Amino acid sequence: MSTVSFDDRDGWIWFDGQFVPWREAKVHVLTHGLHYASSVFEGERMYGGEIFELTAHTERLFKSAEILDFQIPYTVAEIDQACKDACAKNGLADAYVRPVAWRGSETVAVSAQNAKIHVAIAVWDWPSYFKPEEKAKGVRLTWAKYKRPSPETEPVHAKAAGLYMICTVSKHAAEKDGYTDALMLDYRGYVAEATGANVFFVKDGVLHTPLPDCFLDGITRQTVVKLARSQGVEVIERHIMPEELAGFTECFLTGTAAEVTPVSQVGEYTFTPGKLSLGLMDDYAKLVRRQLVAA
């Protein structure tokens, strides 16, 4: 991945309906989204000139905005097209795509009924979230300090910027201790997800994955569930206690950035990437590149 700062790059960003030079795509320091986290976003990937599950991502962006009580001033179709146009404008056929919507700087207060809603779309070349050698042997995770909150305390089903702060803190702590990422529990003590990816476990040829009732049901997660079931693999979505990890033989993460990434360790529990993890990793890679027909 390039080490060039994200504010100092060549290229173009789609910003409120028009393309602006990358370095000029700026917001004011008093924007509401910065002070009160009134911002929602998506993470998408383009493979070979096609953004995988584009409309599903855009629809989720709109739903997230609705949950945060604001309306995106474009249609789903317009944002879909803008994502495609941003990739074309920057000459990319394989890219990471980041749409973001936020309240502007018309007011600096909790109430922001009249704040303008802005939308931007940036795209860039971004290889695998994890290093290839890490994916092959499985990444190492520790346990996160913070827990995923209750739906009664946060808008947990929105892909909202504010919900990721505990993810940043948890991932930083994991990296300082020599791990790649951290696995989070939810407010009840059940296994939830990693800091930016959903998690799956394998036992006796069956996939087990946490029920997404207080965190995002990721689009990659949904794709992998369908892919596994189309191959006759049983998938059980349920609450999982952390001590149950002792009985699982494989573990892997799923997400737009992570794709399908095997896990070799979660805290005191170890796993060996095997047939299901590696098979789904390969099949997902083929599916998004249109080398495998979706079921």
Question: What CATH number has the domain bearing residue 66?
Answer: 3.30.470.10
- pLDDT tens string 222-245: 999 999 999 999 999 999 999 999
- Domain presence at residue 59: yes
Residue 2, pLDDT score: 53
Task: Indicate if 159 belongs to the active site.
Answer: yes
Give the separation between CA 218 and CA 159, rounded to whole angstroms.
10
In a domain, 294, yes or no: no
| Interatomic CA distance for residues 245 and 201, integer angstroms | 8
Whether residue 211 sits in one domain with residue 246: yes
Q: Which of 72, 99, 124 is the last residue of a domain?
A: 124
Does residue 66 lie in a domain region? yes
In a domain, 85, yes or no: yes
Residue 251 lies in a domain: yes
Q: Do residue 269 and residue 169 come from a single domain?
A: yes
CATH number of the domain that residue 156 is part of = 3.20.10.10
How far CA 179 is from CA of 119, 140, 144, 256, in Å, comes to: 35, 5, 11, 20
CB distance 24 to 11 below 8 Å: no
Catalytically annotated residue among 26, 159, 275, 286: 159
pLDDT at 295 over 80: no
Same-domain status, 38 and 112: yes
User: If you average pLDDT over residues 131-160, what whole number do you get?
Assistant: 91
Asked if 160 and 40 touch (Cβ cutoff 8 Å), the reply is: yes
Q: Nearest-CA neighbor of 146 among 101, 208, 88, 195? A: 195
- Rounded to whole angstroms, the Cα distance separating 250 from 123 reads 33
In 10 A of CB 252, how many CB atoms? 30
Alpha helices in 163-245 (DSSP H): 165-176, 219-230
Per-residue pLDDT tens over the stretch 19-78: 999 999 999 999 999 999 999 999 999 999 999 999 999 999 999 999 999 999 999 999
Residues 80 and 223 reside in one and the same domain: no
33: which DSSP letter? H
Q: How confident is the prediction for the chain on average, in pLDDT?
A: 95
Rounded to an integer, the average pLDDT of 105-112 is: 95
Asked if residue 271 and residue 154 are part of one domain, the reply reads yes
Both structure tokens of 216:
């995002």
Residues 104 and 172 in one domain: no
Residue 287 contacts residue 223 (beta carbons within 8 Å): yes
Q: What is the pLDDT of residue 293?
A: 59
> How far apart, in whole angstroms, are the C-alpha atoms of residue 165 and residue 168?
5
Residue 273 belongs to domain spanning:
132-288
The residue among 76, 92, 124 that closes a domain is 124
Q: Is residue 205 classed as helix, strand or coil in its secondary structure? A: coil
- Number of structural domains the chain divides into: 2
Residue predicted with more confidence, 137 or 209: 209
193 and 105 in a single domain? The answer is: no
Beta strands in the chain (DSSP E): 12-15, 18-21, 39-41, 44-47, 50-51, 95-103, 117-124, 139-143, 181-185, 191-194, 198-203, 206-210, 235-238, 250-255, 259-266, 269-270
208 & 250 share domain: yes
Cα–Cα dist 255/179, whole Å: 18
